[in-house]
Amino acid sequence: MLSVENDLTMLRKLSRLIIIYSCITVGLFGQSYARAQNERAEESRLFSMSREDLIFKREIIIGGSYSDEKNEMAGKNSIGFEVLKKLSNKKGDWASFLFQMRFVRYDRQTMLMNKTKMQPAHIDGAHDWELELHDAYFKYSGPFKGRLNLRIGHFDVPYGLEQNVDTHSTLVQLMSMRNVGFKKDWGVSAGGRFPEMDYEFAFTRGTGAEYIERGRNYLVSGRVGTPADKNFCIGLSGLYGQVIDAMAVMRGKKMGIPATWFGSTTKPADDIIRRWRVGLDSIYLFGPYTFKGELSYGEDVNQEVINGIFEIDYLVPDMDGRLEAVAQVQTAYQDITASGSNNDTFLVLGLNYRVSREVTVQTMYRHDLQRLKDTENDNVIGLQLYCYF
């Protein structure tokens, strides 16, 4: 009888232990499950937050041109993407990050000068693949509500029309290559907008597409103007520095025995030249017409330079802004104080048709009226399909 009671007591104790162990196990499992669920919810929330105010776009460009003076076809085709991320709080956007990259195929992208075929400095050979960064910068706006923005990275040099006109994807270009030497550069800037004024000032590397350190290259630039969102805006720009510009070195070369560059028999080391400019630009919207103009004066080393551009854009009525015609004249005078100064003048006609929001077809015809030095006049026809989606 006593043995049976002992057995029952042991069974009750064992049952209690099993129950307690089961409760502990269930409790621990429940806590682990709840923790895992919370972690997954937090990860989901963070992922959702990271996707908020995020814009991702893809870009495809298929383009080619024909030059009758060079008697050859040229091509420039690319595929790329753009990412824009805005950082916000309860008071609004306080910063943003923009990253734009292209993988580009270049074929015979040359320009004739002094009977020499010149190609962009970052291209290696007549047929080349290049991975290019375009816009790649971080912009801090903070609590200033647009009155002050600080930017670091690769961005548009604040000079002239290029500050307010996006030519990233257009066949018809402006005059940045003659005034600055490139469109975008690596560095820092400060700019913003007031009710009656836009401004931006930058200190950059002076190298354009690639970040190159030669110890002497730099560029200081800036522009102040009326707000760009008005029907009429006007701006004053300036720049000074030592930039890497192989095209400008060739423009400054005088043929002879011996040849000279800017009055010296020694070619500028690393293609670095001293340059300064002051410029006035304006845009006027009048009905279906947009008038653009820019005039710049300055020096490349010791040669005085005057560059000018005038453009008219016309949106054909009753086509919902799909069809646009462009007419442009560019003229550039190099070494204007010397006898026999050089003049580059050409006419550009363009026609752009927007097939859809994502696809645009562009055509262009360029006719040289006068070219620098011994360069022959050229006629160029271009065609481009641009997709952005």
pTM of the model: 0.84
Q: What pLDDT sits at residue 212? A: 86
CATH fold label, 52-388:
Porin (2.40.160)
CA distance 265 to 259: 6
Q: Which of 314, 276, 285 is nearest to 172 (CA)?
A: 314
| Model pLDDT for residues 288-309, shown as the tens digit of each residue | 999 999 999 999 999 999 999 9
Share of the chain above pLDDT 70, in %: 84
Domain ranges of the chain: 1-51, 52-388
| Model pLDDT for residues 7-45, shown as the tens digit of each residue | 555 555 555 555 555 555 545 455 555 565 555 655 545
Residue 7 token pair: 């057995």
| Model pLDDT for residues 149-205, shown as the tens digit of each residue | 999 999 999 999 999 999 989 999 999 999 999 999 999 999 999 999 999 999 999
- More confidently predicted of 209 and 323: 323
Q: What pLDDT sits at residue 15? A: 57
Q: What pLDDT sits at residue 372? A: 75
CA distance 133 to 114: 31
